[in-house]
Amino acid sequence: MSLFRYIFPCRLICTLLTVFTVTVGMNAQDLSALTLEQALKSALENQPSERAFRIESQINAAQADKTRLQKNLKLNGNLDMQANPFLPASVVPVGQFNVQNPTDETRAIRFGTWWQATAGVTAIKSLYDAGLNARIREQVFQADITENNHALNRQKIALELSKSWYALLLSEEETSFLKESCRKADELLKDALNKRDGGAATESAVINARMQLNSARIQLEQAVGNRNRNAETLLYWMGISPERAGETAVKGTLAEALLPLEKTTPPSFDAVSTAANRPEIQQFVLDNRLQQLRLETEKANLKPTLSAFAFFGMNNLTNDVPLVAEKSWFSNGNIGLQMKVPVSAYWEQQKQQLPISLQQQHNAARQEETLNQARWEYEQARTAFLTTQQQLALRKEDILLARQDLELVSNSLKGGAAIPSDVLNAQLVLREKEFDWLRTAGDLLLADLALRKASGKLF
């Protein structure tokens, strides 16, 4: 009891220190310049589902080790005591076996004793059990199925995390555009006020400038809110508290993220590579292999099993006082082999194997269906990628033209050849073109993500 008083607090302190260390490590991570690779690494380390799969792998290994224990030598200590209050008796013609007695003499003989007891040790060792070996192979194979499910979970995390990272990147770019729009709208309002005071502009121009500034501020507030929500979503998939959304920012710019995509031509669909990389397809391949192992297990169970056994101990058979009678115990020992042949399983074999065979056919059909769906997804994403790639180049050209037009109108306003509303309209056109470019850039990133998902190469 006193030892427990010391051990329990030590364990509690160690657990708290571990939790504190993990929490501090997660909170100490720098989120101010977050790359997609860093975010993915954090997700694979901190997501609870990832920890669950690591534990499941340990469970599979422990189950296989548990089954292997059946091959070991088993030792059992035995102590059996039995009282026999009703003993069978029979009349035996003893005269036929004793020449000193009449030949027709008989005697009542009692079979058994009032008391019997056995104490000793029994050893059993499996010498040959094909079914046990097949079950071990089947359990070891579960590790491959768990790893494939683990890969499927990692693909899901990578997909959602990439979407969140791209969304945060786009929202940061949008926020930068809107901050610049607010700055320009504020400058335009000041210019309109000055010109109105100088008699060079009307009150209508000032009102339009104010409305333009208010609109830009509202859009900026909405963009900041979207950015914070996207940051919280990204932190969720990273396994980090959303309270740190305010300090979270992606590294690099949207233009840098688009640079490797703008001149890339996606390859044609590769069925072999996709089948090997997509966990959704591999799960049918693995399940077919599992069904094959189960079929082999059923066949192995039809084979005879052989085991050896041995007993050494003492027996007590007495009609006197049990256990304590003088010379009532005598030693006893035996060894032997035991073979078991499953007779009835032979004519049940076909019915046991039929569900396995049907499951394999079902898996083959589902595998073909999933591969065809992956092909369709890839072709759709490839078409969208190429189309969006062409549109993005035109969007960039539109932005350049809109900026040139805004510069011309601004110069005309300074020279008195234009009015403030012309500048407002030019700014509005530029903002629309910038947002069109943002949407197209987001579509290109998502199309690339869809291509990688369809081919099973998300990370």
Of 434, 449, 453, whose CA–CA distance to 179 is shortest?
434
Q: Is residue 25 part of a domain?
A: no
Of 403, 417, 413, whose CA–CA distance to 181 is shortest?
403
Q: Is residue 6 part of a domain?
A: no
Q: Is residue 189 part of a domain?
A: yes
CA 60/CA 394 separation, integer angstroms? 55
Between the CA atoms of 107, 108, 109 and 114, what dihedral angle is there, to the nearest 10 degrees? -150
Of 216, 200, 197, whose CA–CA distance to 208 is shortest?
216
CATH number of the structural domain spanning residue 425? 1.20.1600.10
Relative orientation angle of helices 344-414 and 254-262, to the nearest 10 degrees: 110
Strand order in the sheet with 74-83: 74-83, 115-128, 305-318, 329-340
Neighbours of 98 (CB within 10 A): 11
Q: Over 260-281, what HEC string results? A: HHHCCCCCCCCHHHHHHHCHHH
Q: Is residue 332 part of a domain?
A: no
> Token pair of 154, please?
């990692």
How many domains are contained in the chain? 1
Q: Is residue 260 part of a domain?
A: yes
Q: Is residue 376 part of a domain?
A: yes
Q: Is residue 198 part of a domain?
A: yes
What DSSP letter does each residue of 136-155 carry, written as one string? HHHHHHHHHHHHHHHHHHHH
Q: What is the pLDDT along the chain (459 residues), one digit of tens a residue?
A: 444 444 434 444 444 334 333 443 445 578 888 889 999 998 888 888 888 888 888 888 888 888 888 888 889 998 888 888 777 777 777 777 777 777 777 777 777 777 788 899 999 998 898 888 988 998 889 889 989 999 999 999 999 999 999 999 999 988 988 888 888 888 888 888 887 888 777 788 888 888 988 988 999 999 999 999 999 999 999 988 888 888 888 888 888 888 888 888 999 999 999 999 999 899 999 999 998 988 888 888 888 999 999 999 988 877 766 667 677 788 888 899 989 888 876 776 777 778 888 888 999 999 999 999 999 999 999 999 999 999 999 999 999 999 999 888 888 877 777 777 777 788 888 888 988 998 999 999 999 999 999 998 887
Q: How many CA atoms lie within 13 A of 254 on its CB side?
A: 25
Give this prediction's pTM: 0.73
CA 34/CA 39 separation, integer angstroms? 7
What DSSP letter does each residue of 104-134 carry, written as one string? T--EEEE-S-SEEEEEEEEEEEEEE-HHHHH
Could you list the residue range(s) of the whole structural domain that residue 63 is in?
Answer: 31-72+129-304+341-455
Q: Is residue 119 part of a domain?
A: no
CA 26/CA 20 separation, integer angstroms? 10
Give the SS3 label for residue 366: helix
